[in-house]
Structure 1
């Protein structure tokens, strides 16, 4: 999506947001880490073998 030109990118993002709101997409989360563990998050992503996204908690 981020490689698309501005107009098509905005359309794709809007469609994805609507699909998420409608429950048509599922975004599994594997791990949530505090921002201080950003390096660990990168390691987990690079290693693969996960069943969902690795997220950073920027508020905690």
Structure 2
């Protein structure tokens, strides 16, 4: 809850059925770092690898 019992903007979007993907990804990144001790560097490597794979798939679909 935000302020005097009101949901925050992010919570309001969720309540209206519109989750905020940017914050969801940030939550996942934070959990990976805390629970599994994943560094920003390692996470960046994973993102880079995923980006490259996705680009290749898109090129193959042309």
Q: Tell which has more relative contact order, 1 or 2 (C-alpha 8 A, sep 6+).
A: 1
- The answer to whether TM tops 0.5 is no
Q: Normalising by the residue count of structure 1, what TM-score does the alignment of the two structures yield?
A: 0.26
Higher helix share: 2
**Higher Cα Rg: structure 1 or 2?**
2
Higher strand share: 1
